[in-house]
Amino acid sequence: MAPSVRLSPATRSLFDEPLAIAVQGLGPRQQVTLRASLRDETGQLFQASAHYQAGDDGELDLARCPALPGGSFSGLEPMGLLWALQPQKPFWRLIKRDVQSPFLLQLEVFEGHGERPGRLLAQAQHERAFLRDGVRRVPVREGRIRATLFLPPGEDTVPGIIDIHGLGGGLCEHRASLLANHGFATLALAYYQFEDLPQKPNKLHLEYFEEAVNYMLQHPQVKGPGVGLLSFSKGGEVSLAMAAFLKNIMAVASLNGPVAATCIPLSYKDKTIPTLTEDEHKAKAINSKILDYSDVLDDPFQAPGNQSLIPLEKAEAQFLFIVGQDDRVVKSEYFATEVCKLLQAQGKQNFQILSYPGTGHCMDPPFFPLYPIGNHPVFQKRAVLGGELRAYSKAQAHAWSQIQAFFKKYL
């Protein structure tokens, strides 16, 4: 019998779901190389490969067979071919713009463990989708709000979450779409550099975000009395400010977010939170082309009564701080630890910190490739963002399940 690739689910799975991979019909203890390939929407190629040896029965099940040294990873890693995908173009990030179409994953089995791939023995294609059947994608242009709402199947009321991204601007839908598959009404919210929103805002007005909260709460499918916020980087700081100043925020999960205003001041009514000072001269050169910006932000905890700190003691919400210990953009672990000390000193216990070793600034849902070096969100120069492949893959999967559990508990 000719070798064949067996996948479960067979033809299509959600991007954040595990995929079982096996090869049948090999010779006893036959040595093979497996390669996974995926092209993004611009045509850029991402690949990972691993060396394996079939069992005595000619079967190779990635859930039971460890990868041998010499490929993109080694050891027992059933999903290694997906989490180890790396761009062929250096410093390129995998981004999903159109969540209505899947990524196409190509799996190939080659003979031997050579430098160059041997004879092709078997191959398969598989769709990695962002929307479960029945999830609705609704563009939102209400008042000033520019967003996309993802609604789970059915008419039941479900918890509502607003998803706020970082300083990249535009409208990011990949995380919100995946979260909606798990039973949340999720609003992917743009706040600048999108359609008629400001290109270069000199202030972020919390009234805009308040409009989004009110929109969610009046939606017939959103279960009140409040909403959750899922946020990353600059969005984390925005969501903390929303919890401090706005009503009806029940739970905030912040991924590598500052706890003080950075880059763009935040304002609500007659109050403005000024930004922390950033000193680009404190950047360190890793080599001639790559900089480390981890020390450029002023420490908001050094100056007592720092005006840039977000007054989290005013917030009623529950907080989940998710931080990468190797974050080189924001000192997110330090920020979260210090701000929780302040909350504790006020007698509050509405917070928890999840801290992940080997994890850098960019934290996406599971199986998005590691992005350890890329454009700095503020200085627009090539910078180290942090992270290490295997540790990051574990952090992604763990954090994603914890985020869902957190919102199920508090919404």
pLDDT tens, position by position, 131-187:
999 999 999 999 999 999 999 999 999 999 999 999 989 999 999 999 999 999 999
Active site residues: 233, 327, 361
- C-alpha span between 58 and 73 (Å, rounded): 22
The answer to whether 26 touches 61, Cβ cutoff 8 Å, is no
Instruction: Give percent of the chain above pLDDT 70.
Output: 100
pLDDT tens digits for range 58-67: 999 999 999 9
**CA-wise closest residue to 320 among 184, 387, 208, 411:** 411
Question: Is the CB of residue 407 less than 8 Å from the CB of residue 185?
Answer: no
Domain ranges of the chain: 4-129, 136-410
pLDDT digits (tens, 9 = 90+) for 263-311: 999 999 999 999 999 898 899 998 888 999 999 999 999 877 789 999 9
Residue count (the chain): 411
CA–CA gap between residue 381 and residue 286 (Å, rounded): 13
Question: 37, 45 in Cβ contact below 8 A?
Answer: yes
Let me know: does 407 contact 161? Beta carbons within 8 Å: yes
Q: Domain 4-129: which CATH class? A: mainly beta
Q: What is the pTM of this model?
A: 0.96
Secondary-structure class of domain 136-410 per CATH:
alpha beta
Residue corresponding to tokens 């070096």:
373
DSSP strand pairing (60-61 vs 120-129): unpaired
